[in-house]
Amino acid sequence: MRKKNGTAGYLFFLPGFLFFAVFILYPLIRNFLYSFYDFRLTDLNHLEFIGLGNYRHVFQDHVFWISLKNIFIYGIISVPGQMVLGFLVAYALYQNRPGTKTFRVLFFLPVITSWVVASLIFKFVFTDQGYLNYFIMDVLHFTDKTISWLSDPGKAMMVVSFLGIWKGVGWAMVIYMAALQGVPKDQYEAASLDGCNAWQQIRHITLPSIRSTTFFIQMMLIIGAFNVFTSIYLITDGGPLHQTEVMLTRMYQKAFTEYDLGYASALSYVFAVIIAGLTFLQFRLNKQE
What are the tens digits of pLDDT across the range 60-111? 999 999 999 999 999 999 999 999 999 999 998 887 777 888 888 899 999 9
Mean pLDDT of the chain: 90
pLDDT digits (tens, 9 = 90+) for 247-259: 999 999 999 999 9
Q: What are phi and psi of 46, to 5 degrees?
A: -100, 115
218/279 Cα distance (integer angstroms): 10
> Where does the pLDDT of residue 120 fall: very low under 50, low under 70, confident under 90, or very high at 90 and above?
very high
Q: H-helix or E-strand containing 44?
A: strand 43-49
Question: 275 vs 81, 226, 235, 254, CA distance in Å?
Answer: 20, 8, 25, 20
Predicted confidence at residue 288, as pLDDT, reads 67
Taking the chain, what is the end-to-end CA distance rounded to the nearest angstrom?
49
9/3 Cα distance (integer angstroms): 10
Task: Give the residue-averaged pLDDT of 258-283.
Answer: 92
Predicted TM-score (pTM) of this structure: 0.90
Predicted confidence at residue 3, as pLDDT, reads 55
Task: Give the residue-averaged pLDDT of 214-241.
Answer: 92
19/12 Cα distance (integer angstroms): 12
Tell whether the torsion through CA atoms of 193, 198, 199 and 204 is positive or negative.
Answer: positive
141/134 Cα distance (integer angstroms): 9
Task: Give the residue-averaged pLDDT of 112-123.
Answer: 94
80/128 Cα distance (integer angstroms): 28
Higher pLDDT, 88 or 286: 88
Residue type at position 213: T
107/227 Cα distance (integer angstroms): 23
**Is the pLDDT score of 262 beyond 80?**
yes
Q: Residue 38, SS3?
A: strand
